[in-house]
Copies of this chain bind each other. A is one copy, B any other.
Amino acid sequence: VTDVQRPRRSPTSAELWTWREFIETVEALSWRLASRLQSESSLSQGDYQVLLALSEADGHRMRSSELAAVIGWERSRLSHHLGRMEKRGLVSRDPCAADGRGAEVVLAAHGSDCFRRATIPHLRAVRELFIDALTPEQLAAADDIAGTLRRHLDQSRESTRSLR
């Protein structure tokens, strides 16, 4: 933690191989899950993320920008996406009582239905393609790695911010 200033070696070829295998595999996995979700439940990954976040929210409703933060999207992307989901009857938007500028996104009944029906096959896919593929030890290691990477990312976001 004290070597922040010192420039370091570039990655070895073994390290790079690990990196490429890791990122490409996870992307392939994510792609495969997205296809299954689409064909089994007619939802895109984006739809699912939005519906999941709303399902977990108090009163099945959230401020638009909070939703964007939770799922890690830019606001304009979310806004366009919500427009399409609204057309399909999955969500609706209400003006926010407390803050006249804001909007609240509400899970519609049809969205709730779609989400519930999608959940079982989707969790089955997650189990088949991820959880069952790994030993309990590997799963624990995955958890550890993800947590470490996440904290590192958050920290580096902070430090680049403070340089501005």
Contact = CB atoms under 8 A, between A and B. Distances in A.
A32 interface: yes
B149 A134 contact: yes
A141 B145 contact: yes
Interface stretch (A19-27, A60-68, A86-94, A102-110): A19-27
Interface residues of A, number: 49
A2 B20 CA distance: 32
Contact of A150 (B10, B21, B72): B21
B21 A143 contact: yes
A57 interface: no
Contact of A26 (B10, B127, B146, B148): B146
Interface in A99-134: 120, 123-124, 126-134
A90 to B, nearest CB: 21
Q: Which 6 A-B pairs have the closest CB atoms?
A: A133-B152, A141-B141, A22-B146, A18-B143, A25-B146, A21-B146
